[in-house]
């Protein structure tokens, strides 16, 4: 068997795209996912893109026995850890569950890795650890602070993993701070499937385009930004997935960990994204201005120097491609539901 990468949360949005890129690059992949926010069918979709399916184990990363069995069954050389709960709103309602799943889950995973002697880890962190940034673009050295239980769970995981690496230099850990992942695989076969009404901008736009909502609510037009609406660093999920391969190469070659932003370095406002969507698809998105959403920051985009210099990686896909691919995927979801 080839060297294998364990992907936790691999039937989810970012994990499935990363599974594709790893398999296309010749890696063997085993996925562990409890399917709490994804479907088994995604593995078949990944197989249609790559020509073969990843190994799939349905289970929870808090199940130590299951993890030991997985490490005993495959020649795993590194873990990419995506499994987690990610809704800021839900994290207020279910703070204990978020801590247990995200922080407890990560602790359980690293304990199993330690038992198996696998000490190379790529972790899904988030720009949420920067809270309200003092300035943009945000460098990795910016102060860390969070404003909600989800963000706190990511920061606690980062702290735990930093501690582990400091205490034992056999550990090689990449903490990847994602900005705003959007879009879908160009095949239209895999993408993001928000449950219920989406909180995030891009899936809401595609659902308006599909006629599921009459208009987009634009949360605030009085921010100190180019047009008053919130500015974010949208990154195509395929670029993001490729960033994970670059991080894995870094760990292998340098033999030490890294904390790095994965973003494009460009800020795009809500109204700019709406205009880009119309340009990419020809579909008008009706919108209305609403009050600011509590907890939102005006502007959040990444400093990307470290990713370029250390990982030799940069995001390449345009905002137009993000919109076109998100729309192709929305159409597939729509057709599946009809
Ligand atoms: P997702 O919900 O699509 O994927 C997460 C996957 O993890 C799901 O398939 C879910 O079933 C699985 N999972 C959750 N808890 C589990 C557990 N205890 N055991 C096994 N499987 C479990 O989310 P995503 O957008 O692909 O995000 C992946 C990771 O990236 C998450 O950790 C998230 O916090 C982080 N992240 C996401 C974003 C974003 O905007 N999507 C931004 C920054 C960071
Ligand atoms: N927005 C709207 N209308 C909507 C949805 C969003 O105007 O229906 C606006 C928001 O106010 C914000 C921008 O679009 O200005 C982006 O909002 P998203 O919800 O798509 O993304 P956020 O940057 O607010 O949140 C994301 C993740 C969080 C993470 C946060 C910080 O969803 O999990 O980035 O990293 F915590």
Per-residue pLDDT tens digits for 232-255: 999 999 999 999 999 999 999 999
> Which pLDDT score, from 0 to 100, does residue 315 have?
98
Q: Which pTM does this prediction carry?
A: 0.98
Q: Taking residues 199-222, report their average pLDDT.
A: 97
**Range 314-325 average pLDDT:** 98
Section 159-185 average pLDDT: 98
Ligand 1 centroid from CA 22, angstroms:
18
Q: Is residue 333 scored above 80 in pLDDT?
A: no
Residue 144: pLDDT band by 50, 70, 90 thresholds? Answer: very high
Q: Which ligand is nearest to the CA of 84?
A: 1
**Site to substitute for ligand 2 among 86, 232, 276, most atoms within 8 A of C-beta:** 232
Domain ranges of the chain: 4-182+234-264
Please give, one letter per residue, the 3-state secondary structure of the chain.
Answer: CCCEEEEECCCCHHHHHHHHHHHHCCCEEEEEECCCCCCCHHHHHHHHHHCCCCEEEECCCCCHHHHHHHHHHCCEEEEEECCCCCCHHHHHHCHHHHHHHHHHHHHHHHHHHHHHCCCEEEEEEEHHHHCCCCCCCECCCCCCCCCCHHHHHHHHHHHHHHHHHHHCCCCEEEEEEECEEECCCCCCCCCCCCCCCCCCHHHHHHHHHCCCCCCEEEECCCCCCCCCCCEECEEEHHHHHHHHHHHHHHHHHHCCCEEEEECCCCCEEHHHHHHHHHHHHCCCCCEEEECCCCCCCCEECECCHHHHHHHCCCCCCCHHHHHHHHHHHHHHHHHHHC
Residue 110 in this model has a pLDDT that exceeds 60: yes
Percentage of residues in the chain with pLDDT exceeding 70? 98
pLDDT above 70: residue 338: no
Nearest CA among 170, 133, 175 for reference residue 311: 175
Q: What is the pairing mode between strands 120-126 and 28-33?
A: unpaired
Q: What is the mean pLDDT of the chain?
A: 96
Fold assignment, 4-182+234-264? Rossmann fold (3.40.50)
Q: Is the CB of 34 within 6 Å of ligand 1?
A: yes
Mean pLDDT value of segment 213-230: 98
What is the predicted pLDDT for the residue at 295? Answer: 86
As a dihedral over the C-alpha atoms of residue 131, residue 135, residue 136, residue 139, rounded to 10 degrees, the angle is -70
The pLDDT tens digits for 60-78 are 999 999 999 999 999 999 9
pLDDT confidence bin for 332, thresholds 50/70/90: confident
Q: For residue 86, which atom of ligand 1 is closest to its CA?
A: 34
Which of the two residues, 194 and 221, has the higher pLDDT score? 221
Q: How far apart are CA 82 and CA 84, in angstroms?
A: 6
Residue percentage of the chain with pLDDT more than 90: 94
> Which residues contact ligand 2 via a Cβ below 6 A?
86, 88, 126-128, 151, 180, 199-201, 204, 216-219, 230, 232, 270, 293, 296
Q: For residue 113, how far is its CA from the centre of ligand 2 (angstroms)?
A: 34
- Which ligand minimizes its atom distance to the CA of 299? 2
Confidence of residue 193 (pLDDT cuts 50, 70, 90): confident
Average pLDDT over residues 7-31: 98
Q: Averaged over 157-176, what is the pLDDT?
A: 98
What is the average pLDDT across 272-288? 98
């Amino acid at each position: 068997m080839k060297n294998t990468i364990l992907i936790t949360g691999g039937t989810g949005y970012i994990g499935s795209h990363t599974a594709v890129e790893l398999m296309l690059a010749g890696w063997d992949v085993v996925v562990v996912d409890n399917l709490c926010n994804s479907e088994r069918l995604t593995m078949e979709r990944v197989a249609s893109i790559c020509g073969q399916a990843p190994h799939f184990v349905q289970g929870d990363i808090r199940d130590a026995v299951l993890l030991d069995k997985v490490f005993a069954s495959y020649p795993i050389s590194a873990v990419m850890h995506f499994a987690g709960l990610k809704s800021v709103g839900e994290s207020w309602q279910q703070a204990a569950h978020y801590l247990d799943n995200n922080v407890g889950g990560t602790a359980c995973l690293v304990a199993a890795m330690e038992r198996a002697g696998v000490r190379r880890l790529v972790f899904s962190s988030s720009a949420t650890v920067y809270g309200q940034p003092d300035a943009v673009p945000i460098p990795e050295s910016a102060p860390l602070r969070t404003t909600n239980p989800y963000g706190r769970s990511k920061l606690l995981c980062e702290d735990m993993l930093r501690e582990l690496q400091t205490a034992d230099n056999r550990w090689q850990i990449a903490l990847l701070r994602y900005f705003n992942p959007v879009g879908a695989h160009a095949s239209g076969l895999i993408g993001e499937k928000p449950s219920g009404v989406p909180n995030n901008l891009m899936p809401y736009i595609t659902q308006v385009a599909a006629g599921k909502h009459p208009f987009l609510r634009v949360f605030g037009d009085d921010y100190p930004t180019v047009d008053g609406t919130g500015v974010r660093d949208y990154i195509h999920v395929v670029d993001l997935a490729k960033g994970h391969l670059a991080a894995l190469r870094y760990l292998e070659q340098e033999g030490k960990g890294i904390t790095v932003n994965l973003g494009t370095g460009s800020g795009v406002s809500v109204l700019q994204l709406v205009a880009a969507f119309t340009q990419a698809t020809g579909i008008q998105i009706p919108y209305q201005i609403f009050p600011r959403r509590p907890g939102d920051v005006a502007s959040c985009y990444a400093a990307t120097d470290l990713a370029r210099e250390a990982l030799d990686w940069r995001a390449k896909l345009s905002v137009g491609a993000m919109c076109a691919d998100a729309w192709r995927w929305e159409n597939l979801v729509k057709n599946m539901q009809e």
